[in-house]
Amino acid sequence: MENPIALSGEAAAELLLRLDGLLLYRSLLEDPVIAAWQSVLRTGVLLGGSAMQADVASSETNVLATAGTLVKAYGCWFEAMARIGTDWPRYVIAQVLLAENPWTRRLAAVEADRLEDALKHYDLGGMATAARQDVMALQTVLPWCGQALAQWVAEQIGLSHPPAAWEPLVQGVDAALDGVAVSQLLGSPNWGAELPVLFDHSQRRGIGLWGRYRAFRWEAGELSGIATPDPVQLNQLVGYEHPTQQLMANTERLLRGQPALNVLLYGSRGAGKSSLVKALIHEYGDRGLRLIEVAKAELQALPKIVEHLRGVAQKFILFVDDLSFDADDEAFKSLKVVLEGSATARPENVVVYATSNRRHLVREFFDDRPRPRDADEIHSWDTTQEKLSFSDRFGLTLTFEPANQDRYMEIVNHLVAQAGIVIDPEDLDFRARQWATRHNGRSGRTARQFVDWLQGESCL
């Protein structure tokens, strides 16, 4: 992108004033990297003002002190950019595309075919106009980087050689962003005319945390994004095609806004139940699917989490792994409320996917069975039935049977082919069977561990 302005003290002061006047995108000024960049400009403007008045020794001392502050401010910004590893224009564009504010929340919630109404007839008290002014102000930030910024800093201090300029060799695009949208903004002379680009990105990729991450974890009462989710892909999972197809069909209903069921994935250990659920975000993340992992210890927060997601444009899977309960477990009641609903309707954009090695999720003991004894519950059979039927509260139960020898070898051969390992078929068959016998038995997990071992051998 060409530099549309001259980098001068007057231009810096005017730019800072425009940024101070942001109406909807003010949260961007609190971003640590952008805040460090603002500190460079503010210190430089202050230094320029002090230099013009430096006619006495005390003023010269102040100028020197301010010069040191400018050098430190530039160093802090440079270090921040080095940690990120991208270039300044793309970083600013990322913050604009993912910004969460009243305007972008409205855009994300508008139906895709109502963009024209949203921008022309649904201004919401001037928000569209304010958004245009804000993004036009933010566009003027882009040229203040690289050699131009380093030279400007040197001029404010009076250095004969400018400090090193941040100019990364690779101008990468954040994985959370649409590269086409980034290119459109980089090449646009006027961001005020690019609100449709922002709308489209908000619709497809999301805003705020929902745009930055596809997988989340609820812990200690807070939602945190998972920067590096499990990379497992659906095409890596083989041997359980029928339950996989059913789970995908249910997920697609969720994405289309149709009634979707809560799902219990039940079966033997190592069958790939958890991997199947986690693979869905890589398959459907671009269509707005998000996964929130909730540990059993956090299940009491489920009603709170569900309310937090109500009205959000994205679709959510609440993922509970390895589920089982004791009879008096409080988490049992919390999950039951989410599955069955309460006086408040369940949001249409949320489903629960749980995995378990137990068909009956609530542990039952022989003492629980109704027998005529003193101090027994009169209707104890009702209590027993409630425990046994808890898994029925999931609308869809998918069964993963133990892998027989043929299925186990099918999984092994599939993973070996994907890994590109060259091995004699007879040797592979013998070693794979031997591995299962000596280790954890036949399962998808065992097959994966065996192929990982083969890959390690091939690297020696």
Q: How many CA atoms lie less than 13 Å away from 4 in the CB half-sphere?
A: 12
DSSP 3-state assignment of 63?
A: helix
Q: In this structure, is residue 3 part of a structural domain?
A: no
Q: In this structure, is residue 131 part of a structural domain?
A: yes
Burial degree of 241 (CB within 10 A; 0-12, 13-18, 19+)? exposed
If asked whether residues 381 and 253 sit together in one domain, one would say yes
If asked whether residues 346 and 392 sit together in one domain, one would say yes
What's the total number of domains in the chain?
3
Angle of helix 9-20 relative to helix 127-139, nearest 10 degrees, comes to: 150
Compute, in degrees rounded to 10, the torsion defined by CA atoms 42, 44, 50, 51: -170
If asked whether residues 337 and 249 sit together in one domain, one would say yes
Instruction: Say if strands 263-267 and 350-356 run parallel, antiparallel, or are unpaired.
Output: parallel
Q: In this structure, is residue 2 part of a structural domain?
A: no
What are the residues whose beta carbons fall under 8 Å from the beta carbon of 363, sequence distance 6 or more? 324, 325, 326, 327
If asked whether residues 225 and 117 sit together in one domain, one would say no
Global pTM reads: 0.77
CA distance 288 to 349: 10
Burial degree of 260 (CB within 10 A; 0-12, 13-18, 19+)? buried
User: Distance between alpha carbon 122 and the CA centroid of its chain, in Å?
Assistant: 29
- End residue of a domain, out of 180, 211, 242: 211
CA distance 291 to 359: 24
Whether the Cβ atoms of residue 447 and residue 432 lie closer than 8 Å to each other:
yes
If asked whether residues 24 and 167 sit together in one domain, one would say yes
- End residue of a domain, out of 356, 376, 400: 400
Whether the Cβ atoms of residue 389 and residue 397 lie closer than 8 Å to each other:
no
Whether the Cβ atoms of residue 155 and residue 10 lie closer than 8 Å to each other:
no
If asked whether residues 126 and 183 sit together in one domain, one would say yes
Q: In this structure, is residue 4 part of a structural domain?
A: no
Query: What pLDDT sits at residue 54?
Result: 45
If asked whether residues 113 and 253 sit together in one domain, one would say no
Q: Which of 141, 134, 143 is nearest to 38 (CA)?
A: 141
Amino acid at 36: A
Whether the Cβ atoms of residue 263 and residue 314 lie closer than 8 Å to each other:
no
If asked whether residues 63 and 92 sit together in one domain, one would say yes
> In which domain, by residue range, is 57 found?
9-211
CA distance 99 to 78: 23
Amino acid at 127: M
Q: In this structure, is residue 283 part of a structural domain?
A: yes
Q: Which of 96, 177, 92 is nearest to 132 (CA)?
A: 96
Burial degree of 151 (CB within 10 A; 0-12, 13-18, 19+)? middle
CA distance 421 to 454: 8
For 24, the token pair is: 């909807």
If asked whether residues 192 and 226 sit together in one domain, one would say no
If asked whether residues 63 and 187 sit together in one domain, one would say yes
Query: What pLDDT sits at residue 412?
Result: 87
- End residue of a domain, out of 374, 400, 426: 400
Q: In this structure, is residue 420 part of a structural domain?
A: yes
Walk along the chain (460 residues) in steps of 10 and give the mean pLDDT of each run.
Answer: 62 94 95 96 79 45 67 95 91 93 81 60 70 95 93 87 86 73 93 88 85 90 89 84 93 92 85 89 90 87 86 89 65 66 72 78 49 48 48 80 83 86 87 85 84 76
Instruction: Say if strands 215-219 and 289-294 run parallel, antiparallel, or are unpaired.
Output: parallel
Q: In this structure, is residue 117 part of a structural domain?
A: yes
Query: What pLDDT sits at residue 246?
Result: 94
If asked whether residues 365 and 386 sit together in one domain, one would say yes
Q: In this structure, is residue 1 part of a structural domain?
A: no
If asked whether residues 363 and 241 sit together in one domain, one would say yes
Q: Spell out the long-range contacts of 145-149 with Cβ–Cβ below 8 A and sequence spacing 24 or more.
A: 145/87, 145/88, 145/89, 146/87, 146/88, 148/3, 148/7, 149/7, 149/40, 149/74
Q: Which of 314, 310, 315 is nearest to 341 (CA)?
A: 310
The β-bridge partners of 316 are 290, 350
- Which H helix or E strand runs over 351? strand 350-356
Query: What pLDDT sits at residue 406?
Result: 86
CA distance 92 to 394: 44
CATH number of the domain where residue 299 is located:
3.40.50.300
Locus of tokens 């401010």: 73
